[in-house]
Amino acid sequence: MPKYMVIMRSTDETLAAFENVDFNEIMDQMGRYNDQLIKAGVLVAAEGLDGAPGVVIDYSSQPPVVTDGPYGETKELFAGFWILNVASEEEAVEWARRAPLAGPGSKAEIRRVASIDEFPQDNEWIQKERAWREANGQL
């Protein structure tokens, strides 16, 4: 069964709207949603990103330019993700539709996670990556 990443994307507008929502309420909704994913046997991994401003590196010029996080530019922010083990992209979409992400500018993006088996297996770096995955049981 393929894996899909459901990527939470939000804007400054989304974050502003969430500031008015009770944190316990958010925890409750998110907890219930994750519980559904677990009980359906589809959740592989999930992480949320810290809300504090991060750092952006722009590689358009060399050396790359490092600036403060993308806040205040109303650009889309990557806010967290779920990885789901489901039968099809359509099923991943169905699960993502149910995520408690309602809000202005709030979006989710669904992408299939490529498997290491899809890369050339005779490449020495792929072989090294395999060994690393073997050692620590990474996805």
Residues in touch with other proteins (CB under 8 A): 1-2, 32, 36, 38-42, 44, 85-91, 93-95, 98, 112, 117-118, 127, 130-131, 133-134, 136-139
* CB nearer other proteins, residue 63 or residue 137: 137
In order, the DSSP letters of 13-68 are HHHHHHHTS-HHHHHHHHHHHHHHHHHTT-EEEEEE--SS--EEEE-SSSSPEEEE
Quote the least distance from Cβ 11 to other proteins, whole Å. Answer: 24
* CB nearer other proteins, residue 7 or residue 93: 93
* CB nearer other proteins, residue 3 or residue 9: 3
Between CA 48 and CA 37 the distance in angstroms is 16
Quote the least distance from Cβ 80 to other proteins, whole Å. Answer: 20
